[in-house]
Structure 1
Amino acid sequence: MIVRRERPADSRGVDAVHRAAFPTDVEARLLAELREDTGFLPHLALVAVDGGDVVGSVVATRGWLEPVGAAALGLGPVGVLPTQQGRGVGTVLVHALLAVAEAAGERLVALLGDPAYYRRFGFVVSTELGVDPPDPTWGVHFQARALADPTPRGTFRYAVPFSRL
């Protein structure tokens, strides 16, 4: 398996991954909208490829912190084909994305997800870093990871397509 930047020819495979990995098509539709949004960052759209087939995908898009407008990243969606889950594909994708983000000078990555899973990547409850979730009811499921000091603070806002979920 290799991890690389997503290419235009991968879009059908990436769509298939997200449709297979989740019970609804919400993530697949979100990703299609994110690709058309100004917050899409092509260098932060990665795929895992095995034998020429896309088996996993991760993306981070431009987010920001209000009221100061500091740039941040929103991680997700992350998807892995069900036949490949439990083999470390998602772990490799998230580690690769965080490495690219840090190398690109990003300062903060936030996400909505399972704390038990994302803790291994250094994510903590966002409020521990002074970052409030877009929706206070998300509680411990909204997490963040600082990539640089000082950590920007404020209320996190995702790229616009997330607001249409």
Structure 2
Amino acid sequence: MDGLAREQAADWWEVEALYDLCFAPGRTMLSSYRLRDGVEPIAPLCLVWRDDSGILGGAIRVWPIRIGAEEALLLGPVAVHPTRQGEGLGAMLITSVIERAAAHGHARILLVGDAPYYGRFGFIRLDDVEMPPPTNPDRVLGLALVEGAWDGLSGVVTSVRD
């Protein structure tokens, strides 16, 4: 899909407005946001999609995290403007991040989300990886970009600043 580009500094507030529109008002109180506080997102993996008129239709961000001594990527948030939902933009953004993360040599991606939706991209429930509370363990999902990347990995997800 044409219109996909890396998020630029000038996009930040427009992307934040899209996230505000698509998610509950308390979104920044979620545990995943504590992992992002004071940490820069991974710029090459933060993407926006704009239509031919330059109107923002979707955005995705990716952040570095740790599980014990191991590094991982925290995918999200991903949002598609309500007027563009059902067009495959979310899937395109997720697929693009997965491909780019693999090309950049990252081993694993974690997210908090709905298994039926993210399962089609290869994400599975991570029984031995714990997000900070109050996260539903059924929603902690991972994707190995390198075979065996999640094998034997367990523990609490922490911020790279800790």
Please give the range of the TM-score, normalised by the shorter of the 2 chains.
Answer: 0.7 to 0.9
* AA aligned opposite 1:3: L
2:50 alignment counterpart = 49
The 3 A distance-change label for structure 1 pair 91 and 150 is same
Q: CA separation of 1:158/1:90 partners in 2, compared to 1, >3 Å: closer, same or farther?
A: farther
Q: Separation in 2 of the partners of 1:125 and 1:117?
A: 12
C-alpha spacing 1:24/1:87, structure 2 compared with 1 (3 Å): same
Q: Secondary structure at the match of 2:148?
A: coil
**Paired residue total:** 154
- Partner Cα distance (2:29, 2:61) in 1: 12
C-alpha contact (below 8 Å) 2:131/2:137 kept by paired residues: no
Deviations 1:60-107 (A, max 9, x none): 1001111xx111011111111111111111110000011111111100
> 1:151: Cα distance to partner?
1.2
Report Cα offsets for 1:123-154 as digits up to 9, x if no partner: 00112xxx412248622211000001331412
Q: How does 1:3-152 map to 2 (within 5 A)?
A: 3-24=4-25, 26-27=27-28, 34=36, 37-51=38-52, 52-66=54-68, 69-127=69-127, 131-135=128-132, 138-152=136-150
Would the alpha carbon gap of residues 25 and 54 (structure 1) be closer, same or farther in structure 2, given more than 3 Å must change? farther
Q: Are residues 1:159 and 2:156 paired?
A: no
Q: Structure 2 CA distance, aligned partners of 1:142 and 1:95?
A: 19
Alignment gaps of 5+ in structure 2? none
> For 1:106, what is the secondary structure of its paired residue?
coil
Q: 1:80 & 1:54 partners in 2: Cα distance?
A: 9
More helix as a share of residues: 1
Coordinate RMSD, CA, aligned = 2.7
TM-score by length of 1: 0.81
TM-score relative to the length of structure 2: 0.83
Is residue 74–residue 109 contact of structure 1 (8 Å, CA) maintained in 2?
Answer: yes
The AA in structure 2 aligned to 1:24 is: P
Distance 2:76 2:61 in 1: 5
Aligned with 1:149: secondary structure?
coil
Q: Is the 8 A contact 2:132 2:157 kept in 1?
A: no
Q: What is the Cα deviation at residue 37 of structure 1?
A: 3.0
Judge conservation of contact 1:10–1:54 (CA < 8 Å) in 2.
no
Instruction: Report the Cα distance in structure 1 between the residues aligned to 2:93 and 2:111, rounded to whole angstroms.
Output: 15
Q: Structure 1 stretches of 5 or more lacking a match?
A: none
